[in-house]
Amino acid sequence: MKNRMTTRKRILIAFAFVAVSSLAFHQVALAGTTQPGPDFKIGNLLVPAETPAGQKLTISATISNSANFDGTYEGTLKINGMQEATKAVHVPPKSERTISFSVARSEPGTYDVDLDGLTGTFTVVAGAAGSDTAAGFPVAAVIGAAAGVIVLAILVFLWLSNRKRARS
């Protein structure tokens, strides 16, 4: 009977060893794997070359995800080395999305743009915004519209006068 207990103990110890070894192997295998995820690439930076002072301009780029998994890309826009804004864009698997930022500068000059390593520049020109506008319209357009209304009023007056003479 003593021999039987020893055999049972041996079987139990062997079983415990196999269970612990299997668990340890499983932990090592998990530690060596990474979860699959999106594979983002950023490109096609679009920056307008010039804008009037105070007017908004749009800076954009294309985010592509070549993986079979979706994800959210967080882009950071810097202007002259200072962080301007961050924006998150959800990009489905095997697709592209556009990330865009709207900015305005009131001071004339050239500004350096950096969107996650893509670089460009834009120039703000003076006097174009505000100085030659009336209620949001260029002064030339307001003057042209006023002149058109005056000419139209004169033509209507002359037409009505001729019509009145014809009846008399």
142-168 per-residue burial string, b: 16 or more CB within 10 A, e: under 16? eeeeeeeeeeeeeeeeeeeeeeeeeee
Provide mean pLDDT across the span 58-84: 95
Are residues 46 and 119 located together in one domain of the fold?
yes
Q: How many domains does the chain contain in total?
A: 3
The answer to whether residue 86 scores a pLDDT higher than 90 is yes
Provide mean pLDDT across the span 16-26: 51
Are residues 117 and 49 located together in one domain of the fold?
yes
Are residues 139 and 111 located together in one domain of the fold?
no
Are residues 121 and 45 located together in one domain of the fold?
yes
Tell me what pLDDT residue 159 has.
Answer: 75
pLDDT per residue over 87-137, tens digit each? 999 999 999 999 999 999 999 999 999 999 999 999 999 864 444 554 455
pTM: 0.56
Question: What are the two backbone dihedrals, phi and then psi, of residue 81, each rounded to the nearest 5 degrees?
Answer: 80, -5
Looking up residue 60, the CATH number of its domain turns out to be 2.60.40.10
- Domain boundaries, position 61: 40-125
Confidence of residue 167 (pLDDT cuts 50, 70, 90): confident
Tell me what pLDDT residue 29 has.
Answer: 44
CA distances from 33 to 26, 27, 93, 104, 121 (A): 11, 10, 21, 46, 42
Q: Which long-range contacts (CB under 8 A, 24 or more apart) does 22-31 make?
A: none
Are residues 51 and 4 located together in one domain of the fold?
no
Are residues 16 and 81 located together in one domain of the fold?
no
16-50 per-residue burial string, b: 16 or more CB within 10 A, e: under 16? eeeeeeeeeeeeeeeeeeeeeebebebeebebeee
Are residues 77 and 113 located together in one domain of the fold?
yes
